[in-house]
């Protein structure tokens, strides 16, 4: 198992990955001609890997936040997490200005773990029609 502190440390490493993607963007000349073009295909794959890693951090954060209330072995559904993120993203952009996002990079692993567990406890765990986190 992985604890909240380890999840936070892994999330902090994400910022190094984003720096790598910035370099990747400049190497690929920031131009996607078509997905059939080798550079565009590589960029598309790299973005997919980053999105998967972020979703994995969210999934583990939700599971950690609810581990004491739910049956052993319960797992959050990556599909339903993605649906919730996608459906609430625009609202988040309104509520949390972009200039506040970089502040997370300076958080200690412990602070970030607490934030992830707090935020992970917020998703609705029952399954309303076409939503929810349960498998």
Give 11's contacts (C-beta < 8 A, 6+ positions apart). 57, 112, 116
Specify if 128 maps to a domain.
no
Rounded to two decimals, the pTM is 0.50
* Helix (H), strand (E), coil (C) string for 68-123: CCCCCCCCCCHHHHHHHHHHHHHHHHHHCCHHHHHHHHHCCHHHHHHHHHHHHCCC
At residue 11, the pLDDT reads 81
Summarize the confidence of residues 65-85 as an average pLDDT.
82
What is the rounded average pLDDT for all residues in the chain? 73
Q: Which tokens sit at 9?
A: 């440390």
Report the SS3 class of residue 74: coil
Quick check: is 41 in a domain? yes
- Between 123 and 133, where is the model more confident? 123
Q: Which region among 18-32, 74-88, 97-111 has the lowest average model confidence (pLDDT)?
A: 18-32
Domain count, the chain: 1
In which domain, by residue range, is 15 found? 4-120
Residue 135 lies in a domain: no
* CA separation for the pair 60, 99 (Å, rounded): 26
**Position 19 in a domain:** yes
Tell me, yes or no, whether 12 lies in a domain. yes
49 within a domain of the structure (yes/no): yes
User: What integer pLDDT is reported at residue 101 of this predicted model?
Assistant: 66
CB 7 within 8 A of CB 114: no
Residue 132, in any domain of the structure: no
pLDDT tops 50 at residue 44: yes
In three-state secondary structure terms, 127 is: coil
54 in Cβ contact with 17 (< 8 Å): no
């Amino acid at each position: 198992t992985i604890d909240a502190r380890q999840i936070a440390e892994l999330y902090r490493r994400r910022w190094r990955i984003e720096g790598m993607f910035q370099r990747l963007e400049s190497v690929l000349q920031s131009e996607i001609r078509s997905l059939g073009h080798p550079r565009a295909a590589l960029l598309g794959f790299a973005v997919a890997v980053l999105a998967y890693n972020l979703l994995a951090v969210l999934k583990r954060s939700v599971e950690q936040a609810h581990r004491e209330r739910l049956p052993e072995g319960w797992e959050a559904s990556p599909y339903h997490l993605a649906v919730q993120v996608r459906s609430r993203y625009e609202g988040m952009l309104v509520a949390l200005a972009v200039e506040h996002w970089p502040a997370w990079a300076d958080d200690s692993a412990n602070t970030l773990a607490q934030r992830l567990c707090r935020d992970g406890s917020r998703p609705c765990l029952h399954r309303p029609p076409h939503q929810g986190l349960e498998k």
